[in-house]
Amino acid sequence: MNSEQLLSIQDLKVRFKSFEGVVSAVDGVDLNIAPGETVGLVGESGCGKSVTALSILRLLPKRSTLMEGNIHFSGMNMLTADEEALLKIRGNSISMIFQEPMTSLNPVMTIGDQIAEVFVLHQNLTWNQGREKAVEMLERVQIPSPNARSRDYPHRLSGGMRQRAMIAMALSCQPTLLLADEPTTALDVTIQAQIMDLMLRLKEKLNTAILIITHDLGLIAETVSRVIVMYAGQIVEEAPVGDLFKEPLHPYTRGLMGSVPKLGQKFKGGPSQLDEIKGVVPSLLNLPAGCRFNPRCPLAIAKCREQTPGMVRIGRQRQVRCWLVGGAK
């Protein structure tokens, strides 16, 4: 199975050494992405989804991070790879788009230079050749008058334009995997659709696999083929997107869907009006015993408070981490 996967993560554990002790941000995550596939990673702030993405590229601070498990990309072990090998992968075969277009671009470097840098690093071009390529890339992401914009500093561009520039930068070397961490969260709703659309069209052309990280289920409903839901550092549900929306199995997933407004749609067994998940995300320093979701779960039983559920396979393509699902009652 490994050989046909582009990215394969097994039992990833990420812990941070902090002032108050060791915090477990990601706890036993398994995740596979096939070439050209589009996968959504969904969860609330602090559930470990961004940490997972950053650990793929090994971008977490070395001195304060403990990593365990396996991350294989195109047959290469990312966790044991040396810095030189990682430098060749970053921005080249795996690239990343971040949430905040306002702060993710270097304010004292022109847009063109920031894109050109990727070409200089990975394609052995000179800076001037890189700048020409940068203008081409800006044109591809449909930025008007790309030549002039390439000489602008980021603060002169709107949020949407900056995110287009980020996409241009990320796709410059035709990566096989794009990690998009909340790529549209900071943008206006109308711009959000445009940016998603642009990303997906370019993805089709380049046959790039995308991992879209978001807290917004609605955003990915029509774009991804598979959804992975994370809660408090663990995966709680994984399913093809159609199945998930037809019948969410984990109470948390149902809660997430209840939080998303939908026109004239009722969920089987779920709330029929816009609902919120009660309570707050637990502190990673002080996780509840048993199922991590139990304090907020409307269906929790005694067993949920005592024993930690494992991932249970449902059918061929689905998995869920819940005592109430899969006849385990």
Partner 1 sequence: MIDDKAAIASTRKGNSREFSHLRTGISKFLRNKAACFGGVLIFIFIISSLLAPVLFSKDPNAQDIRHALEPPSLKQPLGTDELGRSILARIIFGGRISLAISLSSVALALLIGVPFGLVSGYFGGKIDFIIQRFTDVMLSFPPFLLALALVSVLGVGLKNTIISVGIAGLPHTIRITRGCVLSIREQVYVEAARAVGTRDRIILFRHILPNVMVPIIVNATLFFGMAIIFAAGLGFLGVGVQPPNPEWGTMLGSGRSLLFAAPHVATFPGIAIFLAVLGFNLLGDGLRDALDPRLGYE
Partner 2 sequence: MFQYTIRRLISTIPVLFGISLMLFFLLRALPGDPAQVIAGELATQQEVELIRQQLGLDEPVYVQYAKFLGRLVRFDLGISVRTQYPVIQEIAPRLLNTLILAVAATLLACLLGIPAGIVAAVKPYTTMDMVVTALALFGMSMPAFWLGLMLIIIFSVKLKLLPVGGSGGFVYLILPAVTLAASLVAVVARNTRSAMMEVLAQDYITTARSKGVREKMVILRHGLKNSFIPVITVIGLQFGTMLGGTVLTETVFAWPGLGRLLISSILARDYPVIQGAILIFALLFVLTNIVVDVLYAYFDPKVRYD
CA dihedral 29, 32, 33, 38 (to 10 degrees): -60
230 has which bridge partners?
Answer: 235
Q: Which one of residues 27, 181, 237, 238 is an interface residue with partner 1 (CB under 8 A)? A: 181
| Site for partner 2, residues 144 to 183, rule: CB under 8 A | 153, 155-156, 166, 169
**230 contacts partner 2 (rule: CB under 8 A):** no
- The tokens 């650990």 sit on which residue? 55
Shortest distance, position 259 Cβ to partner 1, whole Å: 17
Selection from partner 2, partner 1, none that 239 binds (CB < 5 to 8 A by kind) is none
Stretch that binds partner 2, among 33-41, 81-89, 198-206, 294-302 (CB under 8 A): 81-89
Using the minimum distance from each CB to partner 1, give the nearer residue, 78 or 239.
78
**97 contacts partner 1 (rule: CB under 8 A):** no
**66 contacts partner 1 (rule: CB under 8 A):** no
User: At 28, which amino acid appears?
Assistant: G
Q: Which one of residues 1, 19, 261, 273 is an interface residue with partner 1 (CB under 8 A)? A: 19
If you write DSSP's letter for every residue of 235-253 in order, what string do you get?
EEEEEEHHHHHH---SHHH
- Sign, CA dihedral 178-214-40-327, equals positive
Pair 220, 256: CB distance under 8 Å: no
**60 contacts partner 1 (rule: CB under 8 A):** yes
Binding-site size for partner 1 (CB under 8 A) equals 23
What CA–CA distances, in Å, run from 1 to 6, 69, 100, 168, 178?
10, 17, 36, 32, 21
Pair 237, 249: CB distance under 8 Å: yes
Please give the radius of gyration of the chain, using alpha carbons only, rounded to the nearest integer: 21
Q: How far is the C-alpha of 76 from the C-alpha of 307, rounded, in Å?
A: 36
Q: How many helices (H) and strands (E) does the chain have?
A: 11, 12
Shortest distance, position 225 Cβ to partner 2, whole Å: 25
Stretch that binds partner 2, among 15-23, 52-60, 220-228, 284-292 (CB under 8 A): 52-60
**216 contacts partner 1 (rule: CB under 8 A):** no
Interacting residues with partner 1 (CB under 8 A): 16, 18-20, 23, 25, 45-46, 48, 50-51, 54, 59-60, 99-100, 181-182, 281, 283-286
Query: Which residues contribute to the site for partner 2 (CB under 8 A)?
Result: 54, 57, 59, 83, 86-92, 95-96, 98, 100, 103-109, 117-118, 121-122, 153, 155-156, 166, 169
